[in-house]
Amino acid sequence: MREQQLHLLFPHVCLLCRKLLLPGEEPCCNSCRADFDPFNTPAAAEELLRRTIAAHFGEQFLFERGWCRYQFHKKSPLQQVLHAMKYEGLFNLGRSFGRQLGEWISSGADTGNIECIVPVPLHPLKKIERSYNQSEKIAEGIAQSLQKPLRRELLIRKRYTVSQTGLSAEARKKNPEGAFQAAKDVAGRHVLLVDDVVTTGATMAAAASALREGGAQRISLAAVALAIKE
């Protein structure tokens, strides 16, 4: 916590090693960022995302396209940064990751048929507790990069759920089921659904199910990172 407070006071230092950032470096210096584990290509990320989701949902959860920028490992530098983004008030990290993810998406695909960006929502009580939704901040960065509208109102979380962290794969699958509801305006649209980290895909699956029930025609997925089974 103390380190994150220092970063709020001195935002031009690397979140991990505390060295001064050079122009164009955010939120970490290039040296620390080199310790992240990026996917080599958007196609490689999409293939692993599809395999991960198919392993848990089979053909029950189909999606148009999928993008992840990094491979997520426990106790890694990337986990430290994402934890700061999610729990320590450094919400601007979300916008930064979102802009990077948007550039990654546009580098490997024609995004013209994606109509809007929809973040996975928090329950209102959890958003009050945390003061912001990290997935919404990531979506803001993606929307800015892709120049697509952000439509946070198209999906709400109607049921409070416990954190997925620490749950078994089966519990992760059941926890968010029926937790979301889509607005009528989603009908007929191609939606890019955004979250921070995909582990089993359970949260994305539940959110996508609600969007489909609301009439969404196509759903693509984007996340900063995809958890790697170790």
- What pLDDT, on a 0 to 100 scale, did the predictor assign at position 2? 46
- What pLDDT, on a 0 to 100 scale, did the predictor assign at position 193? 98
Domains of the chain by residue range: 1-35, 36-227
Residues 183 and 204: their CA atoms lie apart, in Å, by 17
Residues 137 and 202: their CA atoms lie apart, in Å, by 21
Task: Tell me which residues of the chain have a pLDDT lower than 50.
Answer: 1-7
- What pLDDT, on a 0 to 100 scale, did the predictor assign at position 46? 95
- What pLDDT, on a 0 to 100 scale, did the predictor assign at position 87? 85
- Architecture category of domain 36-227 in CATH: 3-Layer(aba) Sandwich (3.40)
Reported as type and span, the H/E element at residue 139 is: helix 134-146
- What pLDDT, on a 0 to 100 scale, did the predictor assign at position 153? 96
- What pLDDT, on a 0 to 100 scale, did the predictor assign at position 1? 46
What is the torsional sign of CA 119, 120, 124, 126?
A: negative
Burial category of 92 from C-beta neighbours within 10 Å (exposed 0-12, middle 13-18, buried 19 and up): middle
- What pLDDT, on a 0 to 100 scale, did the predictor assign at position 3? 47
